[in-house]
Structure 1
């Protein structure tokens, strides 16, 4: 299935393809503050609909994840990294997808604070 997603103002927009079986809520220092629910997909399944330069990048700690956010409204619609299998992956913020009933998405909690 294809989903459309964006930041609040629409300056960063994308399509994500796949099946949302669950989302992850992480309690690390950034995810806890953002409150995002993450759905992991191979990076090629995330297609930007706006120029890449519309999103700024924030990295911290080990600099393994590129947290992408809108330069205008500040919303974090996705992140990019390399998965455990060595392939590029995207962490899509399910809260930024159109037409999603969040109550129906199973959420797994991840203790990123302890990592």
Structure 2
């Protein structure tokens, strides 16, 4: 398993900025009505590995379906660079949008995990 690296990410306008420490193992996509439209590539990170650096005051929340995930959008440019929720054990987790990272490694789309959110 590769070592975790620190990545910086942001929304389109740069108002919302974050850092996340991850090895980018386990990237995935989802076919639910929302993710399918957004074209997200997701990577989960623990609360300890995520820092919101700027833009908390620019975030607006959207919840749907089970309303267990806070989908956080920049109110200026509309980009969702990350979401937050909890894992099955109640631990705070973040789902970062790999497409919002600065200088991410190339993504092998054939190797990412596919989540069947449409039938969840």
Report TM bin, short chain.
Answer: over 0.9
Task: Give how far 1:62 is off.
Answer: 1.2
Higher RCO (CA-CA < 8 Å; seq separation 6+): 1
CA deviation string 1:53-97 (max 9, x = no partner): 211110011110000111011111000001012100000000000
- TM-score, length-scaled by structure 2: 0.90
Q: After TM superposition, which residue ranges in structure 1, 4 or more long, deviate above 2 angstroms?
A: 101-106
Please list every run of 5 or more consecutive structure 2 residues that lacks an aligned counterpart in the other structure: none
User: What 5-or-longer segments of structure 1 have no aligned partner?
Assistant: none
RMSD: 1.3
Give the TM-score normalised by the residue count of structure 1.
0.93
Count of aligned pairs: 115
Distance in 2 (alpha carbons) for counterparts of 1:41 and 1:59: 20
Query: Quick check: 1:11–1:70 contact (8 Å CA) kept in 2?
Result: yes
What is the DSSP-based 3-state SS (H/G/I as helix, E as strand, rest coil) of the residue aligned with 2:18? strand
Q: Distance in 2 between matches of 1:76 and 1:22?
A: 20
